[in-house]
Amino acid sequence: MVAALDVQAFDELPHGIADLVDLSKAEGHDLVERLVDDWRDGSNRFDRIGEVACRVRLGPELVGVGGLNRDPYIDDPNVGRIRHVYVVPEARGAGVGRALVEALVDHARGRFARVRLRTVTAAGAGFYRALGFEETPEEPESTHHIWLL
């Protein structure tokens, strides 16, 4: 039997987030740690108009997190930003990341005209291109975007 994939918004840090912090740090990434630190200090709880934080469970296991903010790097309330997307290594290639990003983009529809993001890996760039994002070489604080209109 295959475990069910469950993507849900959260309004408190999900159980198991410390494991994702450790796994991401072991891979040389601090994005989950920043999500947790910002959540705890109140600087970013993905709770402004149009924003959302999501977690993904595969069965009972937390296997991914990510969020959507109003883009803090551009003065335009119509631009959202996907942030802190992380999927545990064992769940990659199983549709977890796709389900998470699609949920964030679906949430953005009707709230933002465009969503931007920044990825630092070639694998990430390919992943986002496969989901319909285009590269944004002219925008130094963004690597990819998608229009939602």
- DSSP string computed for 82-99: EEEEEE-GGGTTTTHHHH
Alpha-carbon torsion (98, 33, 42, 124), positive or negative:
negative
74-95 pLDDT, tens digit per residue, is 999 999 999 999 999 999 999 9
DSSP 8-state class, residue 123: H
Spell out the residues 6+ positions from residue 28 whose beta carbon is closer than 8 angstroms to its own.
Answer: none
For 84, phi and psi rounded to 5 degrees?
60, 35
Residue 54 belongs to what domain range? 5-147
> Is 70 in a helix, a strand, or coil?
strand
**CB-count burial class (<10 Å; 0-12, 13-18, 19+) for 10:** middle
Predicted TM-score (pTM) of the model is 0.96
The CATH number given to whatever domain includes residue 14 is: 3.40.630.30
Alpha-carbon torsion (119, 41, 73, 103), positive or negative:
positive
108-129 pLDDT, tens digit per residue, is 999 999 999 999 999 999 999 9
Average pLDDT over the chain reads: 96
